[in-house]
Structure 1
Amino acid sequence: MKKQLAVSAIAALIIGISSPAFAQDNSGGDQSQGTGRQQVMPTMPHNDWHEGERVPAKYRHYNFVMNDWKSHNLDAPAHGQQWLAVNGDYVLVAKSNWKIAKIVSGAQ
């Protein structure tokens, strides 16, 4: 009887330890691939922003700077300007003061 009780206790322990391993969600995929950037923000530049205005501070980050403007059929930025990619839209800004020079909707 003691032997059967010990075997039952060990089996319960093994099942209890292995259950969390099976319950893990692997839907996130391999985290080592991609840039890890997350660009989902509450505002849409082509609706809410206007040329001559300054880009809000939370978008003045390298995560939004886009260096592959050619692959998105955008004009080359002039000296002192850079493209930002925000929510699928493209915003050309001055590097010195973050003023918007041009907005291109990504839906075009």
Structure 2
Amino acid sequence: MDRGNIKWTAMMLPEHVAAVKQELINLEKVNKPILDEDGLAKIELLIYEAMEYNLPLEFKLLKKGYIESIIGHTHFIDYIKKEFLIKDKNDLIHNVPFQKIVDVQKV
């Protein structure tokens, strides 16, 4: 039996639970990696090659501290707005600013 033993129950206030959940979310966030000139040149060459031969690419983007992927074809490069127009498999056009791109890979 439990006579003489103290039973402890975990008790947390809702504010503490929310703070712990937010801290766990913040741990998953990443900083934008710094790309050197060689890395940027490889990405640029890969994008031009994919546009030439109409190949799909996987674009890894940094959005609000998380890395997201878009798989699609480079539809247009807008040098004035400094963004790519990427057409995905559902024919949706995504406007992707140059500075949000972390990596580009062949699919």
TM over 0.5: no
Q: Which has the higher strand share?
A: 2
TM-score for the superposition, normalised by structure 2? 0.28
TM-score for the superposition, normalised by structure 1? 0.28
Q: Which has the larger radius of gyration?
A: 1
